[in-house]
Chain A
């Protein structure tokens, strides 16, 4: 034990003697550990942000849509579209679903007093706003009667308001959607960028009846039906129930496959969780390559150091150092170098995350396990890449080493 302590002292003296070189060697490890921590944290941060957005998507959301298949690069609908009949069956019979809304989408051009914009219009029922937890900033949403009557009214997002009205209040004013006049009755609260970078405020929402009759000119079907389960615990029940009901509605025989799909919010979270998890691992492994390079740097410097200090090693052996003393001395030097690099790298990672937060507002919580990985790796790198030079030093023949020029 005492011997080990003395060896530690010797190793520290040696590192201190070559301060500049030690610092440059350590730099590789600092960058490596810092990069590992920052990339893993960034991955974690992105995952958390995406998960938050998905849970902000709606309340216990289920999406029911016609099954599609890739055929020659295009999505091709399989089987019957989701339509009015399905909607009515769900509304009439469902126990686990509280709010149900169809979704009809059309590409349109909207013209306002100050400008125009090409965008998509969402045709939905009055329950859509609750399903998607979208709140209003100004005005009001449309009512069940408005949907039944197919009124030409709409709720717009902030991006649309800015394009069509510039700074003025849009409530009660008219815009033209594909040349048909609509009255703006509500302005949505701003939500900013979505998970995949889309603008969630670039949106026009109108009663689906109006969109079908006035804009699409067809009642053939919906893009999907969106619905809320009565509680988070009953999303799975709601999915089973909806599956039964739609199968019935589509007259699918027992044993035949569904011609539709139901995706729930939880499944969505799982899928994106998997994707971002893979992304994090990928980024982390790229970053750990720099750690590996840092380790090779340590090995290189240690080998140079062993050659340079051959006479010193010879002297130490001559005055009674055992091989194991020399081995430990050089191993400790390498490990101390990499651990110092590890500590500084952790600091660099934490500070780096903070700087990114200040600059981009993209908050990255420094993941605790990334610190452990970074630090642990640096220790392993020190031992692994320090061992070879240390062994080389310990195996020197004292007679030759003493005469080494």
Chain B
């Protein structure tokens, strides 16, 4: 079987220099993520998971090593090309949603299309509406962000990450600000999207959320500690049951 590699890193390292002090945030990361995978990256704070996500998301560049995203050798790109890669190939989801305030859900979702330079989206509004329906917010399109609950806001953010049909969805603690019930909803949404073929990489420190994914990578001190397939995946139902038992 010949499945496309969405992410491929070779000896990826990132060193931060703060005056005289050098901090090695990542050391020689070799990572391959194939199309259709759903990966959770875990680790204590300072383990390098955010740094890794920033590099995978083309927000930051590696100090050494190579990174191929969907076949593109990212190391060689300049700032504008990186911006275009983020716009075309990546969908970001943040812990604090990062939606535009006092702006409708629809306008928020359509934002990535504003910066599209390829002209591949003929009907931006229709595409944005479709993305909102996909996350179950078809009836909240013209609500402004401050009129939505946290879970709804995060779903708007997920719709925004979907709207440009990215090769990779990157989630940075997407459930960090949500209550358990909403967290399960978001995790379940990820599963549904993954079932439709989306490649998802998410950072989380909640094991019960990571349990929804297909593969869990543990980082420690900037290195991959373990990389395991999830055997007993959670579903929405099982997670809700666990929630009731613990309550």
Q: Using CB atoms and an 8 Å cutoff, list the residues of chain A in contact with chain B.
A: 2-3, 6, 10, 13, 17, 311-312, 314-325, 398-399, 402
- Residue contacts A-B, CB under 8 angstroms, 16 given: A17-B102, A311-B98, A312-B100, A315-B99, A318-B86, A319-B87, A320-B83, A320-B88, A320-B112, A320-B164, A321-B87, A322-B80, A322-B84, A323-B83, A399-B54, A402-B94
Give the distance to chain A from B235, nearest Cβ to Cβ, in Å.
Answer: 31
Q: Counting CB contacts under 8 A, is B142 at the interface? A: no
Residues of B within 8 A of A322 (CB): 79-80, 83-84, 115
Top 7 A-B pairs, shortest CB-CB distance: A320-B87, A315-B98, A322-B83, A320-B115, A319-B112, A320-B86, A321-B115
Q: A319-B86, A320-B164 are in contact. List 14 more A-B contacts (CB 8 A).
A: A2-B119, A6-B114, A13-B107, A17-B101, A311-B98, A319-B87, A319-B92, A321-B87, A321-B114, A322-B84, A323-B83, A324-B80, A325-B115, A399-B54
Q: How far is the CB of A313 from chain B (nearest CB, A)?
A: 11
**Quick one: given A398-B59, A399-B54, are A320 and B116 in contact (CB under 8 Å)?**
yes
Question: Is B117 located at the chain interface by the 8 A CB criterion?
Answer: yes
For B111, list chain A residues within 8 Å (CB). Answer: 315-316, 319
A137 vs chain B, min Cβ distance (A): 71
B108-124 CB mask vs A (1 if < 8 Å, else 0) is 00011011110100000
- Of A2, A13, A17, A321, which contacts B83 at CB under 8 A? A321
Q: Does B54 contact A319, Cβ atoms closer than 8 Å? A: no
Nearest-CB distance from A112 to chain B (Å)? 79
Q: How distant is B157 from chain A, measured CB to nearest CB, in Å?
A: 9
For A323, the chain B residues whose CB sits under 8 A away are: 79-80, 83
Chain B residue nearest to A2 in the complex (CB): B119
Q: Does B60 touch A at the CB level, under 8 Å?
A: yes
- Contacts between chains A and B (CB distance < 8 A), count: 66
With CB as the reference atom, state the residue of chain B lying closest to A3.
Answer: B117
Give bound CA distance, A6 to B124, whole Å.
12
Q: Is the beta-carbon distance between B94 and A316 smaller than 8 angstroms?
A: no
Give A402 to B57 CA distance when docked, in angstroms: 13
Instruction: Check if B103 is an interface residue, CB within 8 A of chain A.
Output: yes
Bound-state Cα–Cα, A191 to B98, Å = 74
Nearest CB in chain A: distance from B217 CB, A: 21
Instruction: Give the residue name and chain of the A residue nearest to B157 (CB).
Output: A315
Q: Distance (Å) between the CB of B106 and the closest chain A CB? A: 13
A399/B115 in contact, CB under 8 A: no
Chain B residues close to A by CB (< 8 Å): 54, 57, 59-60, 79-80, 83-84, 86-88, 92, 94, 96, 98-103, 107, 111-112, 114-117, 119, 160, 164
Complex CA–CA separation, A3 to B117 (angstroms): 8
A318 surroundings in chain B (CB, below 8 A): 57, 59, 86, 92, 98
B114 lies within 8 A of A13 (CB): no
On chain A, the residues within 8 Å of B96 by CB distance are 311
Bound CA span A180–B171, Å: 109
B160 and A319 within 8 A (CB): yes
Assess whether B86 is in contact with A13, with CB atoms less than 8 Å apart.
no
**If A6-B114, A318-B92, A323-B79 touch, does A399 touch B59 (CB 8 Å cutoff)?**
yes
Write out the residue numbers on chain B whose beta carbons fall within 8 Å of the beta carbon of A311.
Answer: 96, 98
Bound together, the chains give a CA A402 to CA B93 distance in angstroms of 11
Contacts of A6 in B (CB 8 A): 114
Q: Given A320-B84, A323-B79, answer yes or no on A402-B114 (Cβ-Cβ < 8 Å).
A: no
Contacts of A325 in B (CB 8 A): 115
Cα–Cα, bound, A395→B223 (Å): 31
A319 to B115, Cβ gap below 8 A? yes
Q: Report the minimum CB–CB distance from B15 to chain A (whole Å).
A: 15
Decide: A316 near B115, CB < 8 A? Known: A311-B98, A323-B79: yes
Chain A residues in 8 Å Cβ range of B119: 2
A residues near B100, Cβ cutoff 8 Å:
312, 315
User: How far in angstroms is the closest Cβ of chain B from A323?
Assistant: 6
Per the bound structure, the CA–CA distance linking A322 and B103 in Å amounts to 21
Residue on A nearest B57 in the bound complex, by CB: A318
Give A316 to B107 CA distance when docked, in angstroms. Answer: 13
Point out the residue from A10, A315, A324 that lies within 8 Å of B114, measured CB to CB: A10
Bound: A321/B79 CA distance, A: 10
